[in-house]
Structure 1
Amino acid sequence: MSQGKGKHLAIYLPSFYNGGIERAMINLSHMLIEYDIQVDFVLNTLGFPVVASQCPSQARIVDLKVSNFPSRFTRLLKYLQQEQPDTLLTAYHFTNEIALLVKRFAKTSTRVVVSEHNTISVETQDEPLLSSRHWIPSWIKLVYPWADGIVSCSMGVAEDLVKITGLPSERIKTIYNPVISATIHQKAQEKVNHTWLAPGELPVILGVGRLELQKDFANLIKAFAQVRESIPARLLILGLGSQHSQLKALVEKLELDQQVAFGGFVDNPYAYMARASVFVLSSAWEGLGNVLIEAMAVGTPVVSTDCPSGPAEILAQGKYGELVPVGDSNALAQAIVKVLSGQKKSVDSSWLQQFTLESAALKYMKILGF
């Protein structure tokens, strides 16, 4: 594996939060290190140590320990001047924008490649005028032309970026997130300490993700209430977030306390996925939808909203799983009942190859200049 040998990559993130972007970047780092590439994770703040522990042992973690914009700018600039990595790969806002500003004004020789993991026009459309996130599309239009490379995690995200920036589509490279690895299959076989997932128990509908408005777990809970009218089942939701109390209140209002459980953060969601009867993505919007790919990889049938963007691409427009309109709990319930009744769609293993670590790493290496 001589390709990339001796190169130095820095991956700049806000922190190690338990999200799909972090998992994708950590997965990518494992593969790049096999190609003899030195990897630094550069973080504004460390975040969750349990997520940091998933990094390869050979990777270096650089905690800038900063919070405000000026200190992020100056600390990142100092890091680049001292370490001089060949390429800086960024994800999230405003780490993307800060990295490009550093590149523009410091004239660093480090190449900067930004990656976009969400459908920004949808994500920011309801942000209030005074919110910093409201101005993300304007920032993108201003600074993304300065990037040495732009990666989108789905074709839908790429199309959205073209509309926002006015850049030619050739400037944006779509690379599906590195999701599927041998580790997923190994972890899927591990034991799960949850009585609902024991043999002989009722079917379990599983949702995994941050408890935020984007994931629209309220829609899933409402759909589950309808599912219960025709099929005895349980709903298990894994994840943390600001909507936890509101979602619990909805469960209580619908009198589903004994049938719905919130499992919080778990180290190994793959073992839960492998034992669930159906996996459901209820999001209002996505960049790609890594959890759908993970569930498919361990052989669990999936149901998803046809949200912008990603699920339709992952499921080949519904060939490999059920797609329903966003926010339609009736349609979501019907699709779940369909799967629980035995109408499952099988997935061609060759289709999943495009979501593997190996496939993503080779494409990333090309745009990173390795």
Structure 2
Amino acid sequence: MNSKKQYLFVTNQFKTGGVETVFYNISKKIDVNILLFPVHLNLNKDLIRRLPHNVKLLKNKYRIKRNVVSFIKIISMSFRYRKEYRNDNTKIINFSDTLTTLLFSYLLNPKNVVSWVHCNPEALLKAKTHSIYWWLLKKCRKIIFVSEAQRNLFLSMPESEGIERAKTVVCTNFIDTDFIEKSRQEPLRTQNFLFTASRLDLRSKDYLTLIEAYSLLPIETRQKYRLLIAGDGPDKLKIQRKIEEKNLRDRIILLGNVNNPFTYMSKCKVFIHASISEGFAMSILEALACGATVVASDCHVGPSEILDNGKYGYLYTPGDVNMLSQKICKALGHGIPTNIAQKRANEITKLGICQVKEYLENGE
């Protein structure tokens, strides 16, 4: 690698997921050298092959299991690597919302570590080790957030007392608009449907409210528009049982993981984002880029900021079945024009690219 700025990105793993997508989008847009270090050996070979030329994958020689003993191994492992990276030439970035990666990053170079927060900060409090996590965050040189709303929420929390705003940076998440534009053109035989796509995990995704809301739609609306759900996860059976309980097996279809969600987003009548908690809500931005009319939960944090408080889509109160059903009906009758939705996605993407380039290329 040449004399450009160099960053070591520490991730929990590198499989298919939101963090991996964000990393891929960032690495394509910045003119710096990147070392990618997944702590765990869970790697997606297809994603690895697609990495741009400025990224070098570092393979961890030590197998780390997900248990208490792993923290001892993390400490030991960090000391084995720190001689190589404890310098001013390589900046360390913790790029996963895990104590494992944050601890490893900090021990590599305590004076030169940055932590990138992707999730809703309130979700971090659910971990028994959250006090250690916050202690390490306070030791970081900078903390990067993926939206302004996320940063504001973090700074308002009692756990963040003593962290100055000047220590924080916002690098808004952005998407690969060229890739999405190409992908959304793929033909799809299915017509007349509502669509949603996310992990089937009821801890953060409110599919039960969505199914209830769909059941309240006028019968003629349900007969015309099926609800297609893309994704997989630990709560698939609970969601299936809810669908059967409402006698909607022929109207709500679980697609499983789909190779190209963007063709569904571009052809659905309404894209629905039912969530309890978010760090940004990347799928809303992707749906806008596909020209979809979006109905989203006004949860912490992300949806309201992306949709500009309802200017570019419809927002409903989390868990409010009647309100969600009503907003779906409104969206079906008064959709957001495709060009307006795409314009909003492009605005956010341009902002995010500028912020990332400013910090990683031109910043400290």
The residue that corresponds to 1:353 in the other structure is 347
* Cα drift, residue 362 of structure 1: 1.1
Q: How does 1:157-176 map to 2 (within 5 A)?
A: 157-162=150-155, 163=157, 164-166=159-161, 167-176=163-172
Count of residues in correspondence between the two structures: 345
The gaps in structure 2 that reach 5 residues or longer are none
Residues 367 and 265 of structure 1: is their aligned pair in 2 closer, same or farther, counting only changes over 3 Å? farther
- Shifted more, 345-354 versus 288-297: the winner is 345-354
Amino acid in the other structure paired with 1:172: T
Deviations, residues 38-63 of structure 1 (Å, cap 9, x unaligned): 44243322244344444335522234
* Cα drift, residue 287 of structure 1: 0.7
1:114 aligns with 2:110: no
Name the CA distance, whole Å, in 1 between partners of 2:361 and 2:32: 15
Given candidates 192, 196, 211, the residue that maps to 1:221 is: 211
Query: Conserved in 2, the CA contact under 8 Å of 1:81 and 1:108?
Result: no
Query: Conserved in 1, the CA contact under 8 Å of 2:228 and 2:252?
Result: yes
Deviations, residues 117-167 of structure 1 (Å, cap 9, x unaligned): 12222x256x4xxxxx1332x123311121121101122221232222111
Residues 6 and 101 of structure 1: is their aligned pair in 2 closer, same or farther, counting only changes over 3 Å? closer
1:206 aligns with 2:195: yes
Deviations, residues 303-329 of structure 1 (Å, cap 9, x unaligned): 101000111111111111101000112
1:259 aligns with 2:254: no
The gaps in structure 1 that reach 5 residues or longer are 128-132
- Shifted more, 207-216 versus 228-237: the winner is 228-237
The residue that corresponds to 1:8 in the other structure is 6
Name the CA distance, whole Å, in 1 between partners of 2:300 and 2:272: 16
Residues 116 and 18 of structure 1: is their aligned pair in 2 closer, same or farther, counting only changes over 3 Å? same
Name the CA distance, whole Å, in 1 between partners of 2:82 and 2:230: 37
Query: Conserved in 1, the CA contact under 8 Å of 2:92 and 2:105?
Result: no
Query: Conserved in 2, the CA contact under 8 Å of 1:114 and 1:150?
Result: yes
Given candidates 118, 137, 149, the residue that maps to 2:142 is: 149
SS in 2 for 1:319: coil
SS in 1 for 2:341: coil
Note the aligned Cα RMSD (angstroms): 2.5
Amino acid in the other structure paired with 1:74: S
- Shifted more, 83-92 versus 152-161: the winner is 83-92
* Cα drift, residue 229 of structure 1: 2.5
Deviation beyond 6 Å, 4+ runs, structure 1: none
Given candidates 75, 78, 82, the residue that maps to 2:77 is: 75
Query: Conserved in 2, the CA contact under 8 Å of 1:19 and 1:210?
Result: no
Given candidates 296, 300, 304, the residue that maps to 1:312 is: 304
Name the CA distance, whole Å, in 1 between partners of 2:321 and 2:295: 12
Amino acid in the other structure paired with 1:215: K
Give TM-score, length-normalised by structure 1: 0.84
